[in-house]
C-alpha cells in the first residue's frame, strides 16, 4: 500500500496518517514531506516546521499551539501542542443567514407504528418505568418474567423494557436543577416506541411522586405502589404487576406497522470512542444522511455540549434566527458554569482512547464532532430532558457521556439512533434501534459483527461522502421498518440509561 495521509483543507499544516499500520520513519508523503519518526494510524504529521507558539491548523481551524519547536515530518500529538482558549460566547456575532430554497425530498417512506399523538414508533415495546431506585430489583424480576411468560402470547410486541434509575429519594426535589431528571424520566415514558402504554412502578414513600411522571392527560391506572396494603408479600406484588402488564400488552399487540413518511423519522446523532477519522468519514457521512432526513421533512438532533463548545462559532451562524442563536450560547454558558462548579473544564472531555486514535485535544474533537450535524439550519435548541418541539435539525443539549446523552436523546423523542465510533464500543439501547457506524474500515473488519455500517471507504476515496450518506439514509429507513436488525438487537447488547442529575442529594 502506498503512503497515504489526509490533508483536510489547503490551509492545514498537518495531515492524518491513513495507513492501517501507520507510517515508519523515512516514509515520504505528499511528495516532499519525509517522516522523521514513526507515526501511528490516525495521528498527525507536521507538514512544515513549527516554531514555539505557532498555530497548529486542521479543518482550517486552530486546534492548538506548538509548545516547542516541531520539525517538519514530526508526529504531532497532545504532548507537543497546547490547548487554545474556547470561543468567547459574547464575541460570536449572529447575522441571519440568507437560507437558499431547498428542494424537498419526497417519496421516501418506512413501515412504522403510528401513535395517537401523531408520533411514530420504530419498535413496539412495553415500557416499565420507576419513580425510585428502591424498586429496581422487582422491576428487573418482572421484566424477565414478562419476557418469558407473557411476550410469547403477544407476537406483535417486540420487547419489554424496564427503565431503572438512581433517582427518586434522598434528593432535593424542589431544587431548580431537579427539573432535569424529573422531566427526563417523564419524557422517556412518552417515547414513540412505547405507544403510550407505559407502566410506572412506585414504592410509596418516595419524594418523586409517580403522578408527576404521567402525561398531563393520563389517568393513574398505570401506576402501582409496592407499599399498597392490598399486597401480602412479594408474589402478590408480582401478580398485581403482571395483571397490569397484560392489559397494556393487549393494546400493544393491536399495533401494526403502517406506511409512514420519512418525515416521521426522529433521529438522534451521537458519537463515542471517536478517533481522528470520525471528522473525516463517519461524522460527515452521518451529517449528509441527516441533511437528507431534514429535506424529507424529518427531524434530526445532535448533542454533547462539550463536543460542540469549541466549534460553537461555526454553529451560531447556522441558527435560523437570533433567538435560536442565543439559546445555543445560553446552553454553552450554562455548561461552562456547571463545569466550573465542579472544578473541571472542557479539556476533561478527551479520553485516552480519543488520544490513542489521534485526537490531540477537545478542540480537534469538537471540530470533527459537529460534522454529524450536516449543513442544515438549526431550527431549535432543546434543554436537557425536554422534548423536541420542531421538525428539522435541533441541538439537544446533553453531557457528552454516551449513556447520559443517549438517555436524554430518548427523552427528546428519538425513534432511531445513529452512533458513530472510531475506536469501537458495544454501546446499545433496547428502546430504539442503534445503527453503529465505524469511521475506519480497520475497526469494521475487526468488529464485523458489531458494526452496522462502515464509512471507512471515504478515507481512501473508494466512495464519496455523498454516496455513503445516501447508503446510510436507506439503511435508516430499512431498520426503521423492521426489515433489518442492528447488531445490538441481534446480540442483545444494551446499556443502562443514566440520568443527568445536576441537582443536590440530601
Q: How far apart are the first and last CA of the chain?
A: 61
Q: What is the pLDDT of residue 215?
A: 75
Query: What is the tens place of the pLDDT at every residue in 33-49?
Result: 999 999 999 999 999 99
Return the exposure string of 419-435: e unless at least 16 CB atoms fall within 10 Å of the residue's CB, then b. Answer: bbbbbbbebbbbbbbbb
Confidence of residue 258 (pLDDT cuts 50, 70, 90): very high
Those residues with Cβ within 8 angstroms of residue 341's Cβ, 6 or more apart along the chain or in another chain: none
Round to whole Å and give the CA distance between 226 and 228: 5
Burial tier of 96 (Cβ tally within 10 Å: 0-12, 13-18, 19+): exposed
Percent over 70 (pLDDT), the chain: 99
Instruction: Write the secondary structure of 292-361 as one string of H (helix), E (strand) and C (coil).
Output: HHHHCCCEEEECCHHHCHHHHHHHHHHECCHHHHHHHHHHHHHHHHHHHHCCCCHHHHCCHHHHHCCCCC
Return the bridge partners of 224, or none: 201
pLDDT of 96 > 90? The answer is no
Whether 217 has a pLDDT exceeding 60, the answer reads no
Residue whose C-alpha is closest to residue 324's, from 383, 269, 378 = 378
Q: Helix or strand or coil: residue 504? A: coil
Contact by Cβ (8 Å): 406, 388: no
Domain regions of the chain by residue span: 1-85, 125-252, 259-491
Q: Which residue in 190, 211, 191 sits closest to 200, CA to CA?
A: 211
pLDDT tens digits, one per residue of 421-441: 999 999 999 999 999 999 999
Question: What pLDDT was estimated at residue 6?
Answer: 96
Give the residue from 434, 494, 404, 401 showing the smallest Cα distance to 267: 434
Residue 400 has which C-alpha cell?
457528552
The pLDDT assigned to 219 comes to 61
Q: Which helix (H) or strand (E) holds 186?
A: helix 179-188
What is the per-residue pLDDT for 87? 93
The whole-number pLDDT of residue 394 equals 98
Report field, pTM of the whole predicted structure over 0.85: yes
Residue 101 pLDDT greater than 90, yes or no: no
Q: Residue 231: pLDDT above 60?
A: yes
| Span 294-310, pLDDT tens digits | 999 999 999 999 999 99
C-alpha cell at 119: 408520533
Task: Assess whether pLDDT exceeds 90 at residue 500.
Answer: yes
Strands of the 258-261 sheet, one edge to the other: 120-121, 109-114, 258-261
Residues 1-85, CATH architecture: Roll (2.30)
The pLDDT of residue 419 is above 80: yes
pLDDT tens by residue, 348-384: 899 999 999 999 999 999 999 999 999 999 999 999 9
Average pLDDT, whole number, for the chain? 95
Q: Which 8-state DSSP code applies to residue 426?
A: -
Name which of 172, 95, 86, 161 is nearest 130 in CA terms.
161
10 compared with 503, residue with greater pLDDT: 10
Sign of torsion, CA 291 334 408 245? negative
Number of helices followed by number of strands (H, E) in the chain: 12, 23
**Nearest Cα to 417, choosing from 191, 180, 190, 249?**
191
Amino acid at each position: 500500500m502506498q503512503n497515504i495521509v489526509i490533508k483536510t483543507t489547503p490551509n492545514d499544516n498537518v495531515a492524518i496518517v491513513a495507513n492501517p499500520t501507520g507510517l515508519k520513519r523515512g516514509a515520504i508523503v505528499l511528495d516532499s514531506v519525509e517522516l522523521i519518526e514513526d507515526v501511528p494510524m490516525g495521528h498527525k504529521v507536521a507538514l512544515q516546521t513549527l516554531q514555539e507558539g505557532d498555530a497548529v491548523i486542521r479543518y482550517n481551524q486552530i486546534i492548538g499551539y506548538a509548545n516547542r519547536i516541531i520539525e517538519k515530518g514530526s508526529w504531532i500529538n497532545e504532548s507537543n501542542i497546547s490547548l487554545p482558549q474556547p470561543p468567547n460566547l459574547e464575541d460570536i456575532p449572529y447575522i441571519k443567514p440568507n437560507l437558499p430554497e431547498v428542494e424537498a425530498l419526497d417519496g421516501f417512506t418506512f413501515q412504522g407504528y403510528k401513535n395517537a399523538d401523531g408520533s411514530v414508533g420504530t419498535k413496539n415495546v412495553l415500557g416499565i418505568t420507576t419513580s425510585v431506585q428502591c424498586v429496581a430489583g422487582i422491576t428487573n424480576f418482572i421484566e424477565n418474567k414478562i419476557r418469558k411468560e407473557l411476550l410469547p402470547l403477544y407476537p406483535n410486541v417486540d420487547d419489554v423494557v424496564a427503565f431503572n434509575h438512581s433517582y427518586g429519594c434522598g434528593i432535593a426535589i424542589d431544587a431548580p436543577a431537579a427539573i432535569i431528571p424529573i422531566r427526563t424520566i417523564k419524557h422517556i415514558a412518552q417515547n414513540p416506541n412505547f405507544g403510550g402504554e407505559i407502566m410506572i412502578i412506585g414504592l410509596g414513600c418516595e419524594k418523586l411522586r409517580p403522578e408527576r411522571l404521567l402525561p398531563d392527560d393520563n389517568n393513574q391506572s398505570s401506576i402501582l405502589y409496592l407499599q399498597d396494603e392490598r399486597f401480602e408479600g412479594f408474589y402478590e406484588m408480582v401478580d398485581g404487576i403482571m395483571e397490569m402488564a397484560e392489559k397494556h400488552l393487549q393494546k400493544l399487540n393491536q399495533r401494526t406497522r403502517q406506511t409512514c413518511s420519512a418525515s416521521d423519522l426522529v433521529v438522534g446523532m451521537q458519537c463515542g470512542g471517536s478517533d481522528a477519522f470520525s471528522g473525516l468519514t463517519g461524522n460527515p457521512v452521518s451529517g449528509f444522511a441527516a441533511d437528507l432526513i431534514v429535506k424529507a421533512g424529518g427531524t434530526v438532533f445532535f448533542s454533547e455540549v462539550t463536543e460542540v463548545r469549541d466549534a460553537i462559532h461555526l454553529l451560531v451562524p447556522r441558527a435560523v434566527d437570533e433567538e435560536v442563536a442565543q439559546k445555543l450560547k445560553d446552553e454553552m454558558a450554562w455548561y461552562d458554569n456547571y463545569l466550573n462548579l465542579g472544578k473541571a473544564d472542557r479539556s476533561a472531555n478527551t479520553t485516552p482512547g480519543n488520544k490513542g486514535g489521534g485526537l490531540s485535544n477537545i478542540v480537534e474533537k469538537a471540530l470533527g464532532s459537529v460534522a454529524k450535524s450536516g449543513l442544515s439550519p438549526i431550527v431549535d435548541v432543546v434543554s436537557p430532558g425536554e422534548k423536541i418541539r420542531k421538525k428539522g435539525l435541533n441541538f439537544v443539549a446533553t453531557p457528552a457521556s454516551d449513556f447520559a446523552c443517549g438517555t436524554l436523546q430518548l427523552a427528546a423523542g428519538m425513534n432511531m439512533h445513529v452512533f458513530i465510533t472510531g475506536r469501537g464500543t458495544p454501546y446499545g439501547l433496547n428502546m430504539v434501534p442503534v445503527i453503529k457506524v465505524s469511521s475506519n474500515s480497520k475497526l469494521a473488519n475487526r468488529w464485523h459483527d458489531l458494526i452496522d455500517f462502515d464509512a471507512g471507504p471515504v478515507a481512501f476515496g473508494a466512495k464519496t461522502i455523498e454516496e455513503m450518506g445516501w447508503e446510510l439514509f436507506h439503511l435508516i429507513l430499512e431498520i426503521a421498518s423492521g426489515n433489518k436488525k442492528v447488531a445490538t438487537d441481534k446480540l442483545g447488547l444494551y446499556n443502562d440509561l443514566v440520568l443527568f442529575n445536576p441537582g443536590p442529594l440530601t
